[in-house]
A and B are shown apart, each in its own frame.
Chain A
Amino acid sequence: MLATYLQALVSGLAIGGIYALIALSFSITFTTTKTLNFAQGEFIGVGAFLGVTILYALSASGDAGSFAALSPAASGGFSYPVAAAVVGAVLGTLGILLFLAAIRPFAGKPGMSWVMSTIGFGIILQSLGLAVWGPAPVNMPSPFGDDVMRLGGAGVRPQEIVVLTVAVLLMVALDLVMRRTRMGKAMRAVAYSPQVAALMGINVTLVMAGAFALSSALAGIGGVLVAPVASASLFMGMGIALKAFSGAIMGGLDNPRGCIFGGFALGLLEAGVALWQAQWREIAIFALIILVLAIRPNGLFGARTLDKV
């Protein structure tokens, strides 16, 4: 029985790491622009497929198997980190495109039109992805093999540890960047007040575009991280993004650390509910979100916003 709980804990932490990472990516754009990307799920899926494509291209010479079933060798050496880095760069660029096409025309205006425009951007992206890669899921090998390791009775795959480690490292690094560097300070200044930041000589548009680039890059890297666990699919991102969004809202969108906490909490909660009745997971989680927001409209750790009258 203990092993079962331990297994749930491990599973929850691994998936929670991804939720936390994506939740953080929501927080990054929300704090700077008061908008976020409702197509983050599609970004995750595209990131995963792009990762597979890069691994395939890198290993085209050797015996790497087919595109849909890359052999473990394809992820060996530096291939996997290189793929992750390239995906981060490409998706980051895509994020800037998203900002220019779907956010900038609507940001700061009433009516939240950006919700619809980012959803539209995502639909287009998914359609393109389907046209290029097709709807079938494909496999991405983990760089450290696929053999189950035992941790006190619970089974863990190397990739789950990779997911958790990389996610935590990225989050710590971003936390430092936001608090210590000039760029981080500029982002926080824009978050506080775009007008004041502009007066201080900060290029507000650039910072906002940067926030979207960073957020989208995180989504892409998230996709590359989970693909070996979940197999890459253009539809896999939706569920992850939704739960990450829930985690972010629960933790408080304007509080990056709260978002990370919310992501992990949701992962653990999910694993916990699965112990009871796996198929009621989503219902339990989203019902809880509604409840949390009904009681604390700004999330557990969100700042209370006051309307100045």
Chain B
Amino acid sequence: MRHVLLAVLLAAAAALAAAFVTNDFYLRILFNICIYLLCASGMNVLLGFAGQKSLGQAGLFAAGAYGVALLTTSWDLGPWLALLLATGIAAACGVLIAAPSLRVRGPSLAMVTLAFGIVVEKLVTEASDIFGGAMGIYAIKPLTLNGDPLTMQQWVWLGILLCLGLHLLLRNLLTGRFGRAFLSLQADEIAAAAVGVSVHRYKVLAFVIAATTCGLAGALVAQQNQYINSDFITFNLSIFILLLVLFGGAGSLAGPVLGAVTLTLLSALLARWSWIEHFVQGALLLFALYAMPKGLAGVLAGLRRSGTSTAPRKAAEPDLQARLPTRPDDASPVAPLLTAQGVSKSYGGVRPARDIAALLTRGHIHALIGPNGAGKSTFINILSGVVRPDDGDIRFRDTPLGRISPHAICGLGVARTFQNLRLFRELSVQDNVLLGQHARMRNGFLASLLGLPASRREEAAARKRVTEILRFLGLSELAQQTAGSLPYGLQRRVELARALATEPYLLLLDEPAAGLNPQETAELGELLLRIREQGVTILLVEHHMDLVMAISDHVIVLDYGEKIAEGTPAQVQADARVTAAYLGVEEAPEAALELSLAGKP
């Protein structure tokens, strides 16, 4: 609430200042600050939260500006309606730019967005019959109040109002379920999907938000100036919008404000030495990132937080009274939870899964073992939707999983952890686990954006459940710590907490004991048994045979992508084929398994 109050006070102060300023130049600078703040706020969602670098925002600015220009001139619509529609057009263009961006990453993503910006820039330049080219479009209708065009002062007030509104809305959105989901995309798309975040939907949403605010800014510029031409739309503008966010502080709510205010003022101050201005912009791009990777907002936050106490580095004793949140399962307890038939996968000549069949029983701990390269991880990846099988039939609670995407599989009640830890390292432990709750929360976009009571209720409920899970695992003390800063063993446990937060029926664990010391491994065993008691079925891939043999109800052995044995631990230990698979010769199973254990890194 302090944040809201501060924002409202700031906006009110700016509006009041504008009321007393008679110099139009200062008003224009205020207006420019508002324009750039609008651009930066949306861009911050895309860049700072979802982590997508777009070098083509000028194209979306153009969509808004030319939208309003054409709607008010060629179509003769009213200025307010045109503003609304133009913003919508920009949003639609956001979908357009997002669609190809979904499949590409890194430099190729930069290229796609860059190319989009250039195509728009060239389009408004070359298609001069429609867009007026460099001669531009005149007589764009300005916004009116009671029939009179807005005065410069009124433009500033409108700008401030829009910025304040946008800021508060985005704050609602970004401090809850949606903000966390965007952040998870930036950190790790595969892990995001595994906790139930629809990567595609959230990427498109981030692009659309950035497009909407940029389009709104473009439309306002065109209407205020009553003229737009293709020289407004340049690569420089795209870069400047990026710089606003990076300099102000990407991923911080205050960042865009700081960036827009500082850079607009800087540009106005340097106007008389404009060639320096260009230079300064370059220097900021080069060195600001280096000197302050989190922008001005990061520097300020650093000043405030300079004296934090040392945080605990150890887990507390798990709270044995704590209960995991679970979903009711109305199916018969004897019906299998998951059945797999003839599952196969090949990469060229390598075939990590050949005709595998498996049956997982409710309330059991199943273990999947086998030598290196046996296809264990592949099988987990297939079950969790990360890898699509070439062939085979998998049914989970009678639902076929064949073509379902990872986030939807998570939604059905399959959770997983990863062999090589995929935590959202920059986020706090609590946020990591809250992300696990993502698919279980029901508040939609509008409810979150507007901060409706429903969304607050969902958030509060999720936090309560997360607190319970943290207690269950003994992580309560560490809730506010950055996940990446924890010792390895605790990171493993946080990942487990995150998976449990999705309230799964089936928990897939890919080598949960890898890298743990013997004591931690023993604790893990205890924990897994407690989780089973809560009614969660577990399938674990593991090389620590002591652990497997101690807690498993059922063991499946893979070798070269084929199932070579299954049964109770004792049955498997006695199986000659298993011994052969592990050592290549007939030997005592125990010795073989121990040898394989020693070979693990």
Contact = CB atoms under 8 A, between A and B. Distances in A.
Contact of A286 (B119, B293, B420): B119
* Residue of B239, B275, B281, B282 with most partner-chain A CB within 10 A: B282
A112 B108 contact: no
A106 interface: yes
B222 to A, nearest CB: 22
A282 B108 contact: no
B95 to A, nearest CB: 13
A251 B415 CA distance: 39
Contact of B282 (A123, A242, A287): A123
Given A123-B282, A123-B285, A283-B119, A113 B108 contact: no
A108 interface: no
B76 interface: no
Contacts of B269: none
A246 to B, nearest CB: 7
A105 interface: yes
Interface in A99-122: 101-102, 105-106, 111-113, 115-117, 119-122
A119 B107 CA distance: 13
Contact of B100 (A126, A294, A309): A294
Contacts of A125: 282
B285 to A, nearest CB: 3
A52 B409 CA distance: 63
Given A112-B106, A293-B112, A307 B286 contact: no
Given A112-B53, A246-B115, A294 B286 contact: no
A263 B289 CA distance: 32
Contact of B281 (A102, A123, A308): A123
A297 B289 contact: no
A282 B286 CA distance: 29
Interface string A238-253: 1000100110010001
B516 interface: no
Given A131-B275, A297-B103, A249 B108 contact: yes
B116 A117 contact: no
Given A117-B285, A124-B283, A294-B103, A280 B126 contact: yes
A282 B121 CA distance: 10
A126 B122 CA distance: 23
A290 interface: yes
Contact of B293 (A113, A123, A283, A290): A113
Nearest to A238: B235
Nearest to A277: B126
Interface residues of A, number: 49
A34 B381 CA distance: 27
B595 interface: no
Given A286-B118, A307-B190, A36 B275 contact: no
* Residue of B51, B106, B242 with most partner-chain A CB within 10 A: B106
Given A124-B286, A290-B116, A307-B190, A112 B126 contact: no
A283 B420 CA distance: 43
B111 A120 contact: no
A283 B122 contact: yes
Contacts of B118: 242, 282, 286
A253 B285 contact: no
A280 B122 CA distance: 8
A297 B275 CA distance: 39
Given A123-B281, A290-B115, A294-B99, A117 B286 contact: yes
A80 interface: no
Nearest to A125: B282
A290 B112 contact: yes
B54 to A, nearest CB: 11
B115 A113 contact: no
Contacts of A130: 275
Contacts of A113: 289, 293
Contacts of B66: none
B290 interface: yes
A121 B116 contact: no
A112 B286 contact: no
A116 B284 CA distance: 10
B110 A309 contact: no
B122 A253 contact: no
A179 B399 CA distance: 52
A19 interface: no
Given A116-B242, A123-B278, A242-B118, A293 B290 contact: no
B446 to A, nearest CB: 30
Contacts of B119: 282-283, 286-287, 290
B472 interface: no
Given A119-B239, A120-B286, A127 B107 contact: no
B161 interface: no
Given A131-B275, A307-B190, A293 B111 contact: yes
Nearest to A283: B122
Contacts of A105: 289-290
A106 B293 CA distance: 10
Interface in B281-306: 281-287, 289-290, 293
A90 interface: no
Contacts of A115: 53, 55, 107, 110
Contacts of B281: 120, 123
Contacts of A161: none
B279 A127 contact: yes
A299 B106 CA distance: 13
B289 A117 contact: yes
* Residue of A36, A105, A115, A253 with most partner-chain B CB within 10 A: A115
* Residue of B103, B126, B284, B286 with most partner-chain A CB within 10 A: B286
A181 interface: no
Interface string B105-135: 1111011101110110011001000000000
Contacts of A124: 279, 282-283, 286
A212 interface: no
B386 interface: yes
A120 B104 contact: no
B49 interface: no
Given A121-B285, A123-B281, A126-B278, 16 more contacts: A112-B106, A115-B55, A119-B285, A123-B282, A125-B282, A242-B114, A249-B107, A283-B119, A286-B116, A290-B100, A290-B119, A293-B111, A297-B103, A297-B108, A298-B108, A309-B381
Shortest 5 CB-CB contacts between residues of A and residues of B: A120-B285, A123-B282, A120-B286, A294-B100, A124-B282
